[in-house]
Amino acid sequence: MSEITVAPVAGRADLREFIMLPFRLYADVDQWVPPLISERKRHLDRNHNPYFEHAEAEYFLARRDGRVVGRISAQVDQRFNEFQNNDWGQFGFFESEDDPAIAKALLDAAFAWLRERGRDHVIGPLDFSTNHECGLLVAGHELRPQILENWHHPYYGTLLEGQGLTKAMDLYKWSLHVTGRTDVMPVLFELAEKLEPEHGITIRGMRRNDLNGEITRFMEIYNAAWENNWGFVPLTDNEIRGYAKELKPILDENWAMVAETKEGETVGVALTLPDYNQVLAKLNGRLLPFGWVTALRQRKKVDAVRVFALGVKPEYQHTGVAAGLYARHYDTAARTPQKGGETGWILETNVPMNRGMEAMGGKVVKTYRIYGRDL
């Protein structure tokens, strides 16, 4: 076999090859959903993505005989290190032909870059952090990914494990069909009914005339509710604003929920997104020149959702706010085309949330794995 060379991405042509490699590797895979090329460019742009206000990254391409055969990123997130009190690095955007030599060359380059920056441990894949697409799909390959998640070739796990990477944490995705209340433990609806009379907390939809403010409040609770999670790094103000801008076009008021007190304090939120991967699957990564016409037509056919995130301020978690948010999902499903879908990922160690999904009649349908290794 010819020699494999790995080099950092240099210039626009290399970046395009970095972005476009999955389009070749998954060309014959029905489950894979092409991302929007323009969105991937923005996400990787160090001058655009506010992640780079507290992090640095390098992108690498592997070539054989001049042909791109793999890619990877290596990143150091100082905010993550400060919050988690460690000196870890991360890798992400891993894609490769089915060849252990390619995987070794890519990982060796990424790990060398991280060692040069004083990192003593690495986790991944993270594109770029747990606030973005993360983990390697290790179960559920027969299903299409939902909005804001990846699909990977089954052989990727073998390639990573062959280089000494082992499981650090599994992330579960649960199926959720919110049409049959008889499948749900009655206590959930009992808690929801007590929420207003006993605690003065009501559930409402997000207000479209104040969506920027609503999403900002959502992200603030996201930071508070997830701060004790493994691998979490809180979003900065600029990252929150960036998320608000990106989520606004795909947000459906029916599925965006707020729990608030009589005084108007937001104490819990649920942001559930229509699964627009059903639309993206028809676009092949491009909105122009006519992809937007297809997008408008397909948008009305979206029949599933993804619970992007559901969180409650720690001091209100005993009141049944989560139960109230769950119950509203059933009410919403009764009047919208979406009758079910999947949760966002839940840490395998998050026993309360996983039990909550069981109580709602859910089943684990996908597992994403974050790997780790000492450097």
Rounded (10°) CA dihedral 203, 204, 210, 215: 50
pLDDT, position 295: 62
pLDDT tens sequence across 220-262? 888 888 888 899 999 898 998 888 788 777 888 889 899 999 9
User: Mean pLDDT throughout 106-126?
Assistant: 98
Residue with tokens 């001049």: 66
pLDDT, position 240: 83
| Bridge partners (DSSP) listed for residue 169 | 370
Residue with tokens 């005993």: 318
Residue 102 pLDDT > 70: yes
Those residues with Cβ within 8 angstroms of residue 212's Cβ, 6 or more apart along the chain or in another chain: 241, 244, 248
| Per-residue confidence band for 293, with pLDDT thresholds at 50, 70 and 90 | low
Burial of 139 per CB tally in 10 Å (0-12, 13-18, 19+): middle
| Per-residue confidence band for 291, with pLDDT thresholds at 50, 70 and 90 | low
| Per-residue confidence band for 170, with pLDDT thresholds at 50, 70 and 90 | very high
Range scoring the smallest mean pLDDT among 6-20, 237-251, 306-320: 237-251
Give the percent of the chain with pLDDT over 70. Answer: 95
pLDDT, position 288: 57
Distance separating alpha carbons of residues 32 and 299, to the nearest angstrom = 19
pLDDT, position 229: 87
Distance separating alpha carbons of residues 19 and 150, to the nearest angstrom = 14
Cβ-contact 200, 262 below 8 angstroms:
yes
pLDDT, position 180: 64
Distance separating alpha carbons of residues 146 and 246, to the nearest angstrom = 16
Residue 1 pLDDT > 80: no
Residue 182 pLDDT > 80: no
Domains of the chain: 4-169 (3.40.630.30), 175-369 (3.40.630.30)
Q: Which two tokens stand for residue 99?
A: 């060849």
Residue 310 pLDDT > 90: no
Those residues with Cβ within 8 angstroms of residue 228's Cβ, 6 or more apart along the chain or in another chain: none
Amino acid of residue 148: L
pLDDT, position 108: 98
Residue 173 pLDDT > 80: yes
Highest mean pLDDT among 101-110, 172-181, 286-295, 360-369: 101-110
Highest mean pLDDT among 11-20, 264-273, 317-326: 11-20
Range scoring the smallest mean pLDDT among 18-32, 80-94, 237-251: 237-251
Distance separating alpha carbons of residues 342 and 365, to the nearest angstrom = 8
pLDDT, position 294: 63
User: Mean pLDDT throughout 92-107?
Assistant: 98
| Per-residue confidence band for 336, with pLDDT thresholds at 50, 70 and 90 | confident
